[in-house]
C-alpha cells in the first residue's frame, strides 16, 4: 500500500506450462475499483522483498531466473519512475522487508544458506549494515512491526529435499540487536503469506435492554 493505492510488482506468469518472469507493475485504486499499469521494474524479478516508506516503494533482492540478486530499487509515484540504490551486501531471494521504528528498513531471511540473514538499509545514507541473525532459517516468512518491535512469523527451511514449514514466531529488539523465539506460535505452520497489523475498534456499548449487535 502506498498513498492509498495497492501495488503488485514482478513475479511469475504461467505461460505454455512454463513460468515467465515479469517486470510489470500494476496499481489498484480502491475508490475507482480500477487497476492500471505503471512504470515497470528495471529488470524481471520474482521472490523479492518490497515495502513502502516515506512515499516510495523499495524493492530488495529477488531472483532473475539465473541467480539471487542483491539489487535495490525504489519507485517514485510522482515521477512514475524507478531508480537504483546501493546493492545489498548479500544477494538473496525469498526475503521480506519491514520498516523499523528507527526508520531503517530491515531485510530478513531468504532461501537456502541466507535463511538466517538480516541486513538493514539506511535510506538517508544509502548504506547497508549487517544485523544479528535469526534464530531459525526462514524463507518467505511474514514480517511486521508492532509496538516498537519487529516480528517474523512462519516461513520455511529446506531440510534434505523437503520444505520444513515453521509455526514459530521471532521477535526482534532493535536496541539489543537480538532475535528471540516468541512464546506464541502460529495456529498452523505456513510460508508465502502476507502479514499486516490491524487496529481494532472496541465493541460498541449496547444500551440496557437492547440485543447485542451482530458483528
Band (pLDDT 50/70/90 cuts) for residue 203 is: confident
Tell me if 10 is assigned to some domain: yes
Tell me if 139 is assigned to some domain: yes
Tell me if 190 is assigned to some domain: no
Given a contact cutoff of 8 angstroms between Cβ atoms, the answer to whether 191 and 140 are in contact is yes
Domain count along the chain: 1
- Tens of pLDDT, residues 48-77: 999 999 999 999 999 998 899 999 999 999
Tell me if 201 is assigned to some domain: no
Average pLDDT (192-211) is 78
Tell me if 198 is assigned to some domain: no
Q: What region, left, alpha or beta, does residue 112 occupy, with left being phi > 0 and alpha being psi -120 to 50 degrees?
A: left
CA distances from 126 to 36, 84, 98, 117, 206 (A): 30, 10, 16, 19, 53
Q: Taking all residues of the chain, what is their mean pLDDT, rounded to a whole number? A: 93
Tell me if 11 is assigned to some domain: yes
Tell me if 203 is assigned to some domain: no
163, 164, 170, 176: CA torsion to nearest 10: -70
Average pLDDT (43-51) is 96
Tell me if 181 is assigned to some domain: yes
HSE-CB for 158 with a 13 A CA cutoff: 11
Alpha carbon distance 177, 119 (integer Å) = 11
Check residue 134 and give its pLDDT. 97
Check residue 8 and give its pLDDT. 96
Where residue 168 sits, what CATH number does that domain have?
Answer: 2.120.10.80
Between 78 and 162, the more confident residue is: 78
Which pTM value belongs to this model? Answer: 0.90
Say yes or no to pLDDT of 135 above 50.
yes
Band (pLDDT 50/70/90 cuts) for residue 215 is: very low
Give which of 84, 109, 114, 111 is closest to 96, Cα–Cα. Answer: 109
Band (pLDDT 50/70/90 cuts) for residue 5 is: very high
Check residue 172 and give its pLDDT. 96
Give the residue numbers spanning the domain of 62. 6-185
- Tens of pLDDT, residues 140-198: 999 999 999 999 999 999 888 889 999 999 999 998 999 999 999 999 999 999 898 98
Alpha carbon distance 120, 97 (integer Å) = 9
Amino acid at each position: 500500500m502506498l498513498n492509498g493505492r495497492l501495488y503488485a510488482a514482478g513475479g511469475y506468469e504461467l505461460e505454455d506450462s512454463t513460468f515467465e518472469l515479469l517486470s510489470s507493475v500494476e496499481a489498484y485504486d480502491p475508490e475507482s475499483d480500477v487497476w492500471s499499469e505503471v512504470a515497470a521494474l528495471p529488470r524481471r524479478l520474482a521472490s523479492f522483498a518490497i515495502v513502502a516508506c516515506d512515499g516510495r516503494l523499495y524493492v530488495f533482492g529477488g531472483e532473475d531466473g539465473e541467480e539471487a540478486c542483491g539489487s535495490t530499487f525504489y519507485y517514485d509515484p510522482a515521477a512514475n519512475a524507478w531508480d537504483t540504490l546501493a546493492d545489498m551486501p548479500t544477494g538473496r531471494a525469498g526475503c521480506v522487508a519491514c520498516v523499523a521504528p528507527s526508520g531503517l528498513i530491515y531485510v530478513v531471511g531468504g532461501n537456502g544458506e541466507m535463511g538466517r540473514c538480516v541486513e538493514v538499509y539506511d535510506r538517508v545514507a544509502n548504506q547497508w549494515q549487517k544485523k544479528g541473525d535469526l534464530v531459525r532459517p526462514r524463507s518467505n516468512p511474514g514480517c511486521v512491526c508492532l509496538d516498537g518491535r519487529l516480528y517474523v512469523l512462519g516461513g520455511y527451511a529446506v531440510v534434505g529435499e523437503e520444505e520444513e514449514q515453521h509455526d514459530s514466531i521471532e521477535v526482534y529488539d532493535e536496541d539489543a540487536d537480538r532475535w528471540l523465539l516468541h512464546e506464541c506460535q502460529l495456529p498452523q505452520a505456513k510460508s508465502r503469506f502476507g502479514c499486516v497489523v490491524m487496529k481494532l475498534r472496541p465493541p460498541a456499548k449496547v444500551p440496557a435492554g437492547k440485543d447485542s449487535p451482530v458483528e
